[in-house]
């Protein structure tokens, strides 16, 4: 027996369709109808069309003719565009929040560091300050997650040890969870070329997924090995040294048909999921010239593997476990430009603690004027630290151009609370000597100045 139209209409659309057919019978035609049918395989197909009614000689309806076209893909694309526009708006908001928050963290962490230098290591207050500092750096990691949604996103890479980063990122994400974690991280792991904040976010996303795959608890195994890839490798990476990081869970696994779309934006198997976590992780690893893969067996579990480019293997490429040394003291006059008074204050105090003389400017115009006055007075600045963005004023890029008109050899360090800005990632291409993402440590500020002021 054949099926009536009502047999294939999506049950959620039945009431709407009945009302529409009543309109067709009463009006003779309806030019625009949108509804959903259920295909033989259970898929919902979105349709758009029109309907008209043919009356018989007695004036009563004889039959109704409906013409539909499949608009499922059209509607899907419209939803994707709406999501993209929404994400762009969220990105702009997130970037602004992260920028402002990092400015506040610069003041908090800078003052904590300065206070810490005035206390002996064994002082109980010093230990409390250390805990405050750790919490503030965790807050910085949260701003990095906000920045992922903002425009830009190019990683600011450096050679970095990864064992501690892996452990800290996973432990942070599993805090309070019933899931346990086993680590297999050898001491001789090579350093990798990474943006630590972005890679930490990838690890947290993958560990979070693994944890959610085991709601009753279970075990996650995180392992890492040094690998050297040749031309004959199956993975699509350039030959060379890599660190391979694997995160394995004991969850239900992922069906093969879903594995093909696992890294697609907005694809999710979770009722409340955004479908962005794995897509973001995949994008971050790709921007690091690495690779993110997944292997899953239903009923056994899922393993995500990350390949990250490593520093050339050798004695100096192994992880450095010793505690960083104290900041290096320097000398000379440093000009600080920042629109936030709290940042100017703490930055100048940090520089003075390191042995430098300082002056501060609230925007580019004032910085250029101070630089010109100092040169004319025979007391030039050895370097200038500029904020990249000054709302309503001259920012770092324009200030650099103006300073170069005064002094072609000016040494300018760019700083910003929006560390994902493309200029921060490619600062040398824009003429800056170095970069100091906010918030920064005394050791980091010291190292940057030492490098910039080197003969």
Question: The domain spanning residue 176 has which CATH number?
Answer: 3.30.565.10
Higher local confidence (pLDDT), 91 or 331: 331
What's the confidence (pLDDT) of residue 72?
86
The answer to whether residue 385 is domain-embedded is yes
Question: 368-396 pLDDT, tens per residue?
Answer: 999 999 999 999 999 999 999 898 889 99
363 part of a folded domain? yes
Structure tokens at 337: 């430009």
- pLDDT digits 0-9 by tens, 206-261: 999 899 889 888 999 999 999 998 876 667 788 999 999 999 999 998 888 787 77
The backbone region for 314, taken as left when phi is positive above 0, alpha when psi lies in -120 to 50, beta otherwise, is left
Count of CA atoms in the C-beta half-sphere (13 A) of 120: 2
- End position of a domain, from candidates 34, 53, 70: 70
Based on the fold, state whether residues 293 and 339 are members of the same structural domain: no
Task: Based on the fold, state whether residues 169 and 207 are members of the same structural domain.
Answer: yes
List Cβ neighbours of 363 (8 Å cut-off, separation of 6 or more): 337, 339, 390, 393, 394
- Residue 373 shares a structural domain with residue 437: yes
Rounded to whole angstroms, the Cα distance separating 433 from 430 reads 9
Residue 147 pLDDT class (50, 70, 90 cuts) = low
Last residue of a domain, one of 70, 92, 126: 70
Let me know whether 182 and 301 are in one domain: yes
Give a yes or no: residue 146 inside a domain.
Answer: no
Q: Are residues 312 and 340 in the same domain?
A: no
Q: Is residue 122 part of a domain?
A: no
Q: Report the distance separating Cα 210 and Cα 95, nearest Å.
A: 28
- Domain that residue 358 falls in: 333-453
Q: Where a domain ends, among 70, 97, 114?
A: 70
Q: Which of 161-165, 321-325, 328-332 is least confident?
A: 321-325
Q: Are the C-beta atoms of residues 217 and 179 closer than 8 Å to each other?
A: yes
Strands (E), 39-151: 44-55, 61-70
Same domain, 405 and 448: yes
Confidence (pLDDT) at 313: 66
Let me know if residue 143 belongs to a domain: no
Lowest mean pLDDT among 67-81, 98-112, 265-279: 265-279
DSSP for 184-253 reads: E--TTPBPEEE-HHHHHHHHHHHHHHHHHT-TT--EEEEEEEEEEE-TT-SSSS-SEEEEEEEEE--S--
- 402: how many CB neighbours lie within 10 A of its CB? 17
Residue 427: enclosing H or E segment and its boundaries? none
Share of the chain above pLDDT 90, in %: 44
CA distance linking residue 307 with residue 290, whole number of Å: 5
> pLDDT tens-digit profile of 352-361?
999 999 999 9
pLDDT band with cut points at 50, 70 and 90 for residue 420: low
Please state the pTM of the whole predicted model.
0.60
Strands (E), 56-132: 61-70
Residues 6+ apart with CB under 8 A from 452: 383, 411, 413, 433, 434
CA quadruple 387, 393, 399, 401: dihedral positive or negative? positive
Task: Establish whether the linkage from the previous residue to 439 is cis, with ω within 30° of 0.
Answer: yes
SS3 22: helix
pLDDT in tens, 151-207: 445 677 888 999 999 998 999 889 888 899 999 999 999 999 998 888 988 999 899
Is the distance from CB of 277 to CB of 205 less than 8 angstroms?
yes
Q: Is the pLDDT of residue 115 over 60?
A: yes
Q: Are 362 and 387 in contact (CB under 8 A)?
A: no
- Determine, yes or no, domain membership for 369: yes
Residues 6 or more apart from 118 whose CB is under 8 A from it?
none
| pLDDT (0 to 100) of residue 341 | 95
Same domain, 312 and 176: yes
Over residues 1-48, the pLDDT tens digits come to 467 777 888 888 888 888 888 888 888 888 888 888 888 888 889 999
Give the CATH number of the domain where residue 9 resides: 3.30.450.20
Q: Are residues 445 and 300 in the same domain?
A: no
Is the residue at 112 inside a domain? no
Taking each continuous run of H as one helix and of E as one strand, the counts in the chain are 13, 15
- Looking up residue 349, the CATH number of its domain turns out to be 3.40.50.2300
Tell whether 311 and 186 lie within a shared domain. yes
- Claim to verify: residue 305 and residue 264 sit in the same structural domain: yes
Residue % of the chain over a pLDDT of 70: 88
What's the total number of domains in the chain? 3
Domain identity same for 234 and 355: no
- Which tokens go with 102? 């990092």
Residue 271's pLDDT band (cuts 50, 70, 90)? very low
Q: Are 354 and 327 in contact (CB under 8 A)?
A: yes
Regarding whether 172 and 263 lie in a shared domain, the answer is yes
pLDDT band at 308 (very low <50, low <70, confident <90, very high): very high
Q: Is there a contact between 311 and 192 (Cβ–Cβ < 8 Å)? A: yes
- 21 in any annotated domain: yes
């Amino acid at each position: 027996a054949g099926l009536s139209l009502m047999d294939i209409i999506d049950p959620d659309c039945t009431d709407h369709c009945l009302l529409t057919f009543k309109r067709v019978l009463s009006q003779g035609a309806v030019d625009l109808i949108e509804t959903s049918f259920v295909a033989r395989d259970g898929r919902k197909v979105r349709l758009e069309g029109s309907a008209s009614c043919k009356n018989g000689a007695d004036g009563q309806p004889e039959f109704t003719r409906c013409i539909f076209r499949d608009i499922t893909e059209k509607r899907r694309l419209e939803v994707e565009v709406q999501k993209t526009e929404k994400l762009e708006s969220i990105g702009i908001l997130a970037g602004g929040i992260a920028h402002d928050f990092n400015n506040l963290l610069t003041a908090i962490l800078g003052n904590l560091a300065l206070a810490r230098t005035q206390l002996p290591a064994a002082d109980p207050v010093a230990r409390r300050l250390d805990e405050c500092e750790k919490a503030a750096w965790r807050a910085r990691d949260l701003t990095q997650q906000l920045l992922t949604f903002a425009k830009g996103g190019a990683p600011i890479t450096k050679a970095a040890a990864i064992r501690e980063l892996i452990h800290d990122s996973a432990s942070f994400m599993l805090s309070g969870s019933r899931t346990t974690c086993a680590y297999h991280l050898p001491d001789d792991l090579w350093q990798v070329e990474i943006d630590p904040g972005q890679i930490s976010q990838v690890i947290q996303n993958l560990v979070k997924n693994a944890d959610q795959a085991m709601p009753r608890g279970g075990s996650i195994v995180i392992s890492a090995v040094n690998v050297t890839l040749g031309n004959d490798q199956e993975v699509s990476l350039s030959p060379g040294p890599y660190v391979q990081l694997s995160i394995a869970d004991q969850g239900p696994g992922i069906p093969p048909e879903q594995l093909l779309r696992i890294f697609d934006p907005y694809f999710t198997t979770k009722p409340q999921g955004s479908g962005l976590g794995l897509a973001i992780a995949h994008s971050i690893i790709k921007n690091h010239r690495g690779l993110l893969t997944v292997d899953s067996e239903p009923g056994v579990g899922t393993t995500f593997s990350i390949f990250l480019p490593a520093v050339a293997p050798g004695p100096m490429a192994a992880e450095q476990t010793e505690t960083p040394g104290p900041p290096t003291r320097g000398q000379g006059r440093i000009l600080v430009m920042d629109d936030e008074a709290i940042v100017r204050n703490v930055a100048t105090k940090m520089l003075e603690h390191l042995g430098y003389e300082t002056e501060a400017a609230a925007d580019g115009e004032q910085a250029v004027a101070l630089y010109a006055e100092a040169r004319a007075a025979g007391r030039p600045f050895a370097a200038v630290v500029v904020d990249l963005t000054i709302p309503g004023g001259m920012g770092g890029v324009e200030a650099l151009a103006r300073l170069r008109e005064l002094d072609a050899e000016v040494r300018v360090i760019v700083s910003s609370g929006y560390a994902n800005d493309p200029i921060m990632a490619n600062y040398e291409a824009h003429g800056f000597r170095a970069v100091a993402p906010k918030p920064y440590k005394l050791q980091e500020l010291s190292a940057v100045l030492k490098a910039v002021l080197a003969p």
